[in-house]
Amino acid sequence: MMRFIDPHIHMTSRTTDDYQAMRKAGIVAIIEPAFWLGQPRTEAGAFKDYFSSLVGWEQFRSSQFGIKHYCTMGLNSKEANNVPLAEQVMELLPQYVHKENVVAIGEIGYDDQTEAEDRFFREQIELAKEVELPILVHTPHRDKKKGTYRSMDVLEEHGVDPSMVVIDHNNEETCKEVLDRGYWTAFTIYPNTKMGNLRMVEVVKQYGSERIIVDSSADWGVSDPLSVPKTAHLMLEKGISKEDVHKTCYQNALEVYSKSGNMKESDWEDYSIDQADLHEGNCVLRGQTPKQGSSDNIVAN
């Protein structure tokens, strides 16, 4: 079975059934970026609890289904517009960026492209430089081309090496410019919006696999946590080489996020599961017999 990494998926919004299906489909590692939860948070404590869950409970929950969990830390662009709260969140972030499963600062960037968004985007770029972590950039859903180009311009103003940056939520309109400027170029595959997997096949046919990354961004909306393996299999059906599929659906994500020093392939090789384990007194079970042993064997059985 091919192995996959989903380097942008919001598992806080997903179920244990999703974890089981993902592992069965070959997903061995995921990255969960800090993001907007669907409604504005009103207190800094809400961010603190959320960040704590990304480095605590969610990492544990993922491990119990044989998937290695990493995350990125950041103030998302949508909530950057509440300036007093955003300032408090910026004070919180240094407490979390050094945690063992944090592989980048993100997802940061623009939503409505306001002055406040610009301010906190720049501040988090400087934080990433200070702690020597990659950056995951969220490009806006509205006026995407302008926002994507502006994001790269700002990164260049701050002297960031493009090889340390993943620009996400790309489409056919932005892809060439992002690649030409040397950035990792990621695509979120959704069932109905953004990039569909047939469109993704055509992008890889046109541009190849160099610095191109496939992810699902599956969250609380209509989305598919199996987008990466489904797109990979469609690529193979459409004549794209296994090498190119491996790069876009596994190797490229590993290469860029391993620059954090916190992500390596050995993390999920010979991965053992013990569902009798507890996290702060809690487990993932609800009366089931705990599974134990190699994650590959447990999935197979």
Q: What is the pLDDT of residues 243-278, one digit of tens each?
A: 999 999 999 999 999 999 999 999 998 778 888 787
Q: Provide the pLDDT confidence category of residue 231 given band limits of 50, 70 and 90.
A: very high
- Backbone region of residue 246 per phi and psi (left: phi > 0; alpha: psi in -120 to 50; beta: other values): alpha
pLDDT of the residue at 38: 87
Write down the domain spans for the chain. 4-300
With a cut of 90, say whether residue 9 has pLDDT above it: yes
- Comparing 13-22, 156-165, 282-291, the range with the smallest average pLDDT is 282-291
* CA dihedral sign of residues 81, 88, 11, 187: positive
Q: Provide the pLDDT confidence category of residue 291 given band limits of 50, 70 and 90.
A: confident
Task: Give the Cα separation of 232 and 214 in Å (integer).
Answer: 9
Task: Give the Cα separation of 191 and 28 in Å (integer).
Answer: 22
Is-contact 168 186, C-beta < 8 A?
A: yes
pLDDT of the residue at 56: 96
Strand 292-294 relative to strand 4-6, pairing = unpaired
> What does the pLDDT average to over 7-29?
95
Q: Provide the pLDDT confidence category of residue 283 given band limits of 50, 70 and 90.
A: confident
Fold of 4-300: TIM Barrel (3.20.20)
Q: Provide the pLDDT confidence category of residue 141 given band limits of 50, 70 and 90.
A: confident
Q: Provide the pLDDT confidence category of residue 2 given band limits of 50, 70 and 90.
A: very high
> What does the pLDDT average to over 208-214?
98
> What does the pLDDT average to over 71-82?
96
pLDDT of the residue at 288: 79
pLDDT of the residue at 194: 62
Instruction: Report the chain's mean pLDDT, rounded to a whole number.
Output: 93
| Residue 113 CB-half CA count within 13 A | 14
Q: Provide the pLDDT confidence category of residue 222 given band limits of 50, 70 and 90.
A: confident
pLDDT of the residue at 278: 79
Structure tokens, 79: 């909530």
pLDDT of the residue at 269: 87
Largest CA distance in the chain: 55
pLDDT of the residue at 301: 59
> What does the pLDDT average to over 79-103?
97
Percent of the chain with pLDDT over 90: 81
**pTM of this structure:** 0.95
pLDDT of the residue at 108: 98
Is-contact 65 269, C-beta < 8 A?
A: no
With a cut of 70, say whether residue 165 has pLDDT above it: yes
pLDDT digits (tens, 9 = 90+) for 22-51: 999 999 999 999 999 888 899 999 999 999
> What does the pLDDT average to over 208-213?
98
With a cut of 70, say whether residue 300 has pLDDT above it: no
Q: Provide the pLDDT confidence category of residue 93 given band limits of 50, 70 and 90.
A: very high
With a cut of 90, say whether residue 210 has pLDDT above it: yes
